[in-house]
């Protein structure tokens, strides 16, 4: 599947005329943008031109068998990208367009600086509110530094579940791995990625894995996440202390299981 149509969508939007964009859109095209739904070729064309403005950079981003057009505003920072994921092909106009905004990597969820919240709203350190209830700042959660990014462990290792916020840097990827016992769910909070998986035929394939997508991974299922842009994932799982990782391939030469240089002591 290709985004190169009659003409390229990126070239049309750079021209910036509604009449040029309209031929690439079906009459019933839908634009999805952060909970906003715009329907109809004319309305979507206007919204696209307002969204892109005058792009300073344009790239075609591959997402498995699909593709997307990435724009960076002239006035934006290096992290201010707008990515349009569409189903436009050489044979027919687009019927759906999804907008992804890539924000600065410091704006991670739960950090006061990221949301520009008053400091007093975020607790310092960890505080027991009552018996069995503790409140703490995101920044005080255990930080596990990886070659591909980082994890914040929001769970205690004495609990029967795992809960993490994971950041993977653009161009990096996790191990191709599986777990003997651990089952997990990933939710892509921000960004664009590919999910690698092993098919029933034993072949490793990829699927687009973008903001708003949920993936469930059962024990023994091979998987890997590759970041196209900087991404933020939320992971919930059964018990996790880092020991149940069986690595098939790893860009950093790490062994199976717990990696002391990343995780430190198991009780930490």
pTM: 0.60
Query: For residue 42, what pLDDT is reported?
Result: 93
User: Which residue blocks in the chain are alpha helix, DSSP H?
Assistant: 9-15, 18-21, 41-52, 112-115, 260-263
Task: Identify which has the larger pLDDT, 212 or 54.
Answer: 212
How far is 197 from 220, CA to CA, in rounded Å?
A: 11
Q: Could you tell me if 160 and 238 are in contact, meaning their C-beta atoms sit under 8 angstroms apart?
A: yes
Query: For residue 7, what pLDDT is reported?
Result: 57
pLDDT tens digit sequence for 146-190: 999 999 999 988 899 999 999 999 999 999 999 999 999 999 998
2: how many CB neighbours lie within 10 A of its CB? Answer: 13
Q: Where are the domains of the chain?
A: 9-102, 141-263
Q: Is the peptide bond before 186 cis (omega within 30 degrees of 0)?
A: no
What is the CATH number assigned to the segment(s) 9-102?
3.10.450.50
With a pLDDT cut of 70, the percent of the chain lying above it is 75
How far is 157 from 137, CA to CA, in rounded Å?
A: 18
Dihedral angle of Cα 50, 1, 191, 77, to the nearest 10 degrees: -50
Query: For residue 1, what pLDDT is reported?
Result: 37
Whole-Å CA distances, 40 to 49, 169, 178, 241: 14, 36, 44, 49
- Span 202-211, average pLDDT: 92
Query: For residue 5, what pLDDT is reported?
Result: 40
Spacing of C-alpha 244 from chain mean position: 24
How far is 158 from 49, CA to CA, in rounded Å?
A: 52
- Span 29-37, average pLDDT: 85
- Span 64-88, average pLDDT: 64
Task: Identify which has the larger pLDDT, 111 or 69.
Answer: 69
pLDDT of 213 above 60:
yes
Q: Please check whether the two domains, 9-102 and 141-263, share a CATH topology.
A: no
Query: For residue 265, what pLDDT is reported?
Result: 56
Query: For residue 260, what pLDDT is reported?
Result: 73
- Span 253-264, average pLDDT: 79
| % helix, strand, coil for the chain, step of 5 | 15, 45, 40
Query: Which of 41-55, 59-73, 135-149 shows the lowest mean pLDDT across its residues?
Result: 59-73
207: how many CB neighbours lie within 10 A of its CB? Answer: 15
* Residues belonging to the chain: 268
147: how many CB neighbours lie within 10 A of its CB? Answer: 14
DSSP sequence for 99-163: EEEE--TT--TT-HHHHT--GGGS-SSEEEEETTEEEE-GGGSEEEE-SSEEEEE-S-TTSSEEE
Query: Which of 17-31, 83-97, 231-245 shows the lowest mean pLDDT across its residues?
Result: 83-97
pLDDT of 264 above 70:
no
Task: Identify which has the larger pLDDT, 78 or 249.
Answer: 249
At 61, the pLDDT band (50, 70, 90 cuts) reads: low
Task: Identify which has the larger pLDDT, 56 or 97.
Answer: 97
Query: For residue 112, what pLDDT is reported?
Result: 38
Answer yes or no: CATH 2.60.20.30 is held by domain 141-263. Answer: no
Query: Cα 192–144–185 angle (5° rounding)?
Result: 50
């Amino acid at each position: 599947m290709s985004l190169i149509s009659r003409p390229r969508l990126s070239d049309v939007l750079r021209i910036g005329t509604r009449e040029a964009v309209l031929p690439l859109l079906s009459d019933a095209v839908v634009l999805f943008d952060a909970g906003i739904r715009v329907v109809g070729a004319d309305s979507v064309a206007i919204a696209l031109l307002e969204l892109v403005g005058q792009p300073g950079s344009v790239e075609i981003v591959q997402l498995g068998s699909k593709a997307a057009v990435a724009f960076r505003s002239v006035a934006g920072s290096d992290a201010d990208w707008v990515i349009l994921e569409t189903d436009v092909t050489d044979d027919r106009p687009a019927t759906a367009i999804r907008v992804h905004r890539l924000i600065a990597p410091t704006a991670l969820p739960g950090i006061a600086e990221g949301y520009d919240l008053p400091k007093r709203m975020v607790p310092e350190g960890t505080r027991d509110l009552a018996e069995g209830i503790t409140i703490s700042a995101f920044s005080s959660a255990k930080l596990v530094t990886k070659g591909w990014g980082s994890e914040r462990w929001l769970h205690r290792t004495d609990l029967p579940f795992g809960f993490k916020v994971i950041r993977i840097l653009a161009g990096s990827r996790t191990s191709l791995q599986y777990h003997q016992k651990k089952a997990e769910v990933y939710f892509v909070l921000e960004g664009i990625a590919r999910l690698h998986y092993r098919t029933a035929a034993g072949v490793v394939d990829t699927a687009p894995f973008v903001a708003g997508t949920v993936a469930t991974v059962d024990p023994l299922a091979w998987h890997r996440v590759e970041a196209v842009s900087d991404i933020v994932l939320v992971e919930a799982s059964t018990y996790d202390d880092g020991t149940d990782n069986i690595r098939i391939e790893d860009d950093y030469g790490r062994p199976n299981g717990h990696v002391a240089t990343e995780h430190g002591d198991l009780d930490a």
